[in-house]
Structure 1
Amino acid sequence: MRVCLAWLGDPAQVAAVQGTPGPWREIVVAGPGLLLVETDETVSRVYHELKWLLSDDCALLVAPVAERPKARGAARGTVAWLRARLPLPDRE
């Protein structure tokens, strides 16, 4: 299982992704145009599946998230969702 962070350049297009079957177990909206994706697939596969759901002019960025990021101002439940899926970063 991996977590990916996906940014959609047009937040209105989140509706095209939510509830649509894809190579993900769950998608959480963390903020306007910002998605957290739980998947067993590669980042490339998630990227392409999202790209095919969006209009051609919608910017898209997908990146893996290996450790729990710091978050403030994210949508309700985002931090708990991340806590349940990702380890804390190593402390120096």
Structure 2
Amino acid sequence: MSLFLAWIGVDRDSLDLEGEICALNPRLFLVETELSRSKLYHRIKWQLPDDTALLVAPLAEIPKFKGMAEGSTAWARERKRTD
């Protein structure tokens, strides 16, 4: 399983993906999946309106963040332990 950060240029309540998803806010998601970065990128891209901005990046460690959806830090820590 790999952990990715996905940002999309439009607000979304959810995405239809393989794996576990944690919405940090309506445009920013953590995704734990067995999909490759390319497959995840294209799966999200196909769900969005044409010309919508999209970023998908692998995460080697849990990023530092605050002000995101309640429970999102705990969700991330459950999936990837860091020092």
TM (norm. structure 1) is 0.82
Task: Calculate percent identity across the aligned residue pairs.
Answer: 46
Match of 2:45 in 1: 51
Structure 2, gaps ≥5 residues long: none
Contact 1:30 1:36 in 2 (8 A): yes
Moved over 4 A (4+): none
**When the two structures are aligned, how many residues end up with a matched partner?**
83
Q: Relative to structure 1, is the Cα distance of residues 75 and 16 closer, same or farther in structure 2, using a 3 angstrom cutoff?
A: closer
Contact 1:25 1:38 in 2 (8 A): yes
Q: Which has the higher helix share?
A: 1
TM (norm. structure 2) is 0.90
In angstroms, what is the RMSD of aligned CA positions?
1.4
Matching of residue 38 in structure 1 with residue 32 in structure 2: yes
Match of 2:10 in 1: 10
Larger Rg: 1
- Displacement after TM superposition at 1:27 (Å): 1.2
